[in-house]
Structure 1
Amino acid sequence: MAASNDTVLGVLVFTRHGDRQGFYQDPTSYTTTTPTIITPLGTAQEFQLGQLLRSTYFNASSPSFVSGVNGTLVNQTQIHVRADAGGELGVIYDSAVALLQGLFPANADYKSALANGTTVEGALAGYQYVPIESVEPTNDVSLEGYTSCNPFNDWTNAFYTTPEFLQKANDSAHFLTLLPPFLDNRPVTLQNIYNIFDFMLVNSVHNSDFAKALPPTFLEQARALANFHEYGIFTSPQLNGIGNIAGRTILPVMIQELQSIADPTNPLKLAYQSLAYKPFMSLFNMTGAAQQSPQLAGIVNYAAAVALEVREPSGGGSAVLRLRFKNGTDDQFTTYNFLGQTGDVPLQSFIDFVNPALINSTADWCTVCNNTQDRGCGAIAAAAAQANAAAINGIGHHHQRISPVGAGFLGAGLTIAVMLGMFGVLAFLGLITLGKGPSKARSAKA
């Protein structure tokens, strides 16, 4: 472990959403088929997590205090927030709103003097508003790379035929026969175990009659089976395996943010991403953290949080990473080893290790996922066809490489490219660049 007087240059935090109502997701494609919303408990969990992050990283007396951060009033150049706006609808975005309220509470100093001599305090007793980049899966693959991905669906179905899965299904068969009275007609199969566990968990928290009727060991037995199921789906033994796709698509943005934090000319101090549970498992697997700490090989709890601290060693030298994890409201931040090492890991070593597996662009994702229609892939195919046609007709003069910046998603640049292509002047994918533009940036109170 690095010395305690290291300088914390900044931190990348990603969290799971808070408590929500139940929902149902297809056990092969992982598309959501029922709506859900965050609960008051969920907002309280995220708010408390925000308060903890504040005391950990914005308190000058904390050993993890981020050097140079303004933790009093929001400096929007120092913070970047992204929230998944996909499969669990507004739950993940609303979790980010609640967390930011704890991270940047209302402050009476949020006020301004007007030309007429009066002073106006911000709304809601000085509440601070932090922009949240709403990441829409239809035009940004970075946070939900696993949906609409044909090889991933094949991977899921193949997992259900493995000897390991078949043995687990046989071992759990008797337990599953005991569950129908508690499941409101849900299919009782090991393939459907996540939905079974989710239903039991939600009702154990919010339905007193259900909580009293459920035998005391059933929830934990279902959780253990769901952990086996989801970890088997969202990880691969090979770094670039399709089971790791949730990590392979989110890592380019993470790396960009970590590099920005380590760059002394960049003001970024805190990068925060609000997520579903799937990327946690892929990332723990890809970094080897779950292999070194097997308790990480499963579904993280509501309001779980990973903090990747970017540190400057006390003796100088290149930036290093420290991995800390808190598994829900009843846990504390604990430091974990990763990449097969003990202690902090050089940032560049982390980047070099995961780089071969990265999916850096929507075009890359379309190729990996064998998709020519969804999530921008149809537009890419159309633009390519237009560009090829232009080249054949002597209009296109060169090919320009897609820039692998950020998470690999499409925005206004793609729309312009397709429009120009329709008029016969699109250079082959030349206007598709990757960055933050396509997601909807909303301002939410913090």
Structure 2
Amino acid sequence: MRASLQSGLLFASLSAPFVDAERVLGAYIYSRHGDRTPKVFGNTALTVLGYREVFNSGSYYNGRYIAEDDSAFHIQGISNSTVQAKQISVTAPDDSVLQNSATGFMQGVYPPTSQNVDTLSNKTKQEAPLGGYQIVTVGTTDTNVDSESSTWLQGSSGCSKATVSSSSYYTSKEYFDLEASTKDFYQSLAPVLKGAFAEKDMTFKNAYTIFDYLNVGRIHNETKPNVTDAQWIQLQSLANNQQFNLAYNSSETDGVRAIDGKVLAGEILSSLNDTVTGDGKFKLGVQFGSYGTFFSFFGIMQMPAASVDFTGVVDYASTFAIELVTDEAGPDFPSSDKINENEKVISWSKFVSKTKEVAVTTDTEWCDVCGNTDGKCATSDSTDSTSASSSSSGGSSGGVSRPVAGVIGAMVTLAVILGLGALFFLVGGFTVAKRRRGGPEMSNATTVTGDKKA
């Protein structure tokens, strides 16, 4: 496992590979959208700042994976300057904020190229518009539809049992206790909430929407909301608490409340499996989604057991990436007996088996977990080999199709901001060792030292 740190719009990564002669064979990136307008008024839109945030994030990954063949993390065989459609897959829900964020991100991953010139039969030259802007198709996932227009993300998952599970939080003792104990706090914010919220709505039930409204004001308004630092910390903490509990419930045996995280786990497997089964022809999967999916994924991967930081809403344009690597020398795709698991790398076979324990990988499985009987679930018996999200990756099934024990190490780079600052990442069941890195753009980095649950 490998972890890196995102700070503001700069990323800090470990400067050297963990294994000798390590080659990156493929990767999967999951990202939140950039800065946007507040939810409370509806019709949310990506801001110029948000566009810049996702573009900068994509530019980082261009430097890490694309631009330089001699980069320690360059994806072997990926096209350097001109995007090759068969090598990548980019998806986002049918939502303008997320779709536009994915487009802006890919502009950073593959910036304009001056090579986009056609010579016609009459020998005239036609240059591509916008300085060689590269068009990257963003596919549509069938989960989290219109999520950024909803003040309650989990309610848009389409999963009946997940909606019921999340709704039950509002009848729990924990919720009622917090609603009662924070009533005066939210009412004290009336002077800065008037005009956006009715007085009856200034309660813990709207914890995230209130936080989101004030957060946008702090970022964009010249006259910032008159909220003290202590109040701001409390607002953020309460919003984190509410939203995490709506997205994940550790006491559930089926984990249905975290269905979006389960589907994401299946999509990650499907995407990386395309790289493995295609001998590296498919290189990079990219998906955009909401902070709610981050929460669900964190929960099912047991990250909160390692740190409470994983129960905080990730900042705009936060990402995590999972990399397929090998230490076998040479340009060829590795065979199954050329790499062994070590303390820094999870073998492909273990990554598959551990992830499949929590993942939803087919429509049939999704329908069974969710209890849905309409739509695609009306004929789910015939879709056992179909990924739970129809456009999740480069075209293979959601199930992993062949045993490749020990072929590749699945390494995780997590570049995310949580809560008030940049915090540490790992996959549940792994211990963390902190160390200082030098350089003006570097901060604390973390490395995972071994699987303690295997």
TM-score, with normalisation over the residues of structure 2?
0.71
Q: Is the 8 A contact 1:139 1:409 kept in 2?
A: no
- Name the CA distance, whole Å, in 1 between partners of 2:337 and 2:99: 31
Residue aligned with 1:228, SS: helix
Aligned-pair Cα RMSD in Å: 3.2
Residue aligned with 1:182, SS: helix
Equivalences for residues 199-278 of structure 1 within 5 A: 199-209=213-223, 211-237=224-250, 238=252, 240-263=254-277, 265-278=279-292
| Letter of the 2:89 counterpart | H
| Letter of the 2:216 counterpart | V
2:132 to 123, 126, 138: 126
2:72 to 63, 74, 80: 63
Is residue 2:198 matched to residue 1:182?
no
Report the Cα offset of residue 96 of structure 1: 0.8
Q: Is the 8 A contact 1:193 1:229 kept in 2?
A: yes
- Name the CA distance, whole Å, in 2 between partners of 1:362 and 1:99: 29
Report the Cα offset of residue 52 of structure 1: 0.8
Q: Is the 8 A contact 2:154 2:166 kept in 1?
A: no
| Letter of the 1:11 counterpart | A
- Name the CA distance, whole Å, in 2 between partners of 1:70 and 1:251: 27
Q: Is the 8 A contact 2:36 2:45 kept in 1?
A: yes
Structure 1 pair 232–368 and aligned structure 2 pair: CA distance change class (3 A): same
State which drifts further: 39-48 or 177-186: 177-186
Structure 1 pair 52–408 and aligned structure 2 pair: CA distance change class (3 A): closer
Q: Is the 8 A contact 2:255 2:300 kept in 1?
A: no
| Letter of the 1:19 counterpart | D
- Name the CA distance, whole Å, in 2 between partners of 1:138 and 1:301: 18
Q: Which residue of the partner structure matches residue 12 of structure 1?
A: 28
Count how many residue pairs are aligned between Structure 1 and Structure 2: 361
Q: Deviations over 1:351-408 (max 9, x none)?
A: 21232443334444344333344xx25xx53x69xxxxxxxxxxxxxxx742333235
Residue aligned with 1:278, SS: helix
- Name the CA distance, whole Å, in 1 between partners of 2:165 and 2:237: 21
Runs of 4+ in 1 over 6 A off after TM superposition: 138-141
Q: Deviations over 1:192-224 (max 9, x none)?
A: 211111111112112222x15222333332111
Q: Which residue of the partner structure matches residue 86 of structure 2?
A: 77
Q: Is the 8 A contact 2:93 2:145 kept in 1?
A: no
| Letter of the 2:49 counterpart | L
Q: Is the 8 A contact 1:7 1:312 kept in 2?
A: yes
TM-score, with normalisation over the residues of structure 1?
0.72
Q: Which has the higher contact order (CA 8 A, sep 6+)?
A: 2
- Name the CA distance, whole Å, in 2 between partners of 1:318 and 1:286: 29
Q: Is the 8 A contact 2:260 2:293 kept in 1?
A: yes
Structure 1 pair 55–239 and aligned structure 2 pair: CA distance change class (3 A): farther
Residue aligned with 1:13, SS: strand
Q: Deviations over 1:76-122 (max 9, x none)?
A: 1111110111xxx3000000111111111111112233232233222
| Percent of residue pairs identical | 25
1:403 to 366, 384, 387: 384
Structure 1 pair 163–104 and aligned structure 2 pair: CA distance change class (3 A): same
1:281 to 289, 295, 304: 295
Residue aligned with 1:217, SS: helix
State which drifts further: 70-79 or 216-225: 216-225
Report the Cα offset of residue 19 of structure 1: 0.6
Q: Is the 8 A contact 1:14 1:274 kept in 2?
A: yes
Is residue 2:101 matched to residue 1:95?
yes
Structure 1 pair 16–249 and aligned structure 2 pair: CA distance change class (3 A): same
Q: Which residue of the partner structure matches residue 182 of structure 2?
A: 172
Q: Which residue of the partner structure matches residue 298 of structure 1?
A: 312
Larger Rg: 1
| Letter of the 2:281 counterpart | P
- Name the CA distance, whole Å, in 2 between partners of 1:133 and 1:81: 6
- Name the CA distance, whole Å, in 2 between partners of 1:288 and 1:358: 13
2:325 to 311, 314, 336: 311
Equivalences for residues 336-347 of structure 1 within 5 A: 343-347=344-348
- Name the CA distance, whole Å, in 1 between partners of 2:164 and 2:387: 27
- Name the CA distance, whole Å, in 1 between partners of 2:338 and 2:146: 29
Q: Is the 8 A contact 2:117 2:125 kept in 1?
A: yes
Q: Is the 8 A contact 1:104 1:128 kept in 2?
A: yes
- Name the CA distance, whole Å, in 1 between partners of 2:21 and 2:155: 38
Structure 1 pair 146–5 and aligned structure 2 pair: CA distance change class (3 A): farther
Residue aligned with 1:284, SS: helix
Structure 1 pair 5–294 and aligned structure 2 pair: CA distance change class (3 A): farther
Report the Cα offset of residue 149 of structure 1: 2.9
Is residue 2:46 matched to residue 1:38?
yes
Report the Cα offset of residue 40 of structure 1: 0.8
Report the Cα offset of residue 409 of structure 1: 4.2
Q: Which residue of the partner structure matches residue 420 of structure 1?
A: none
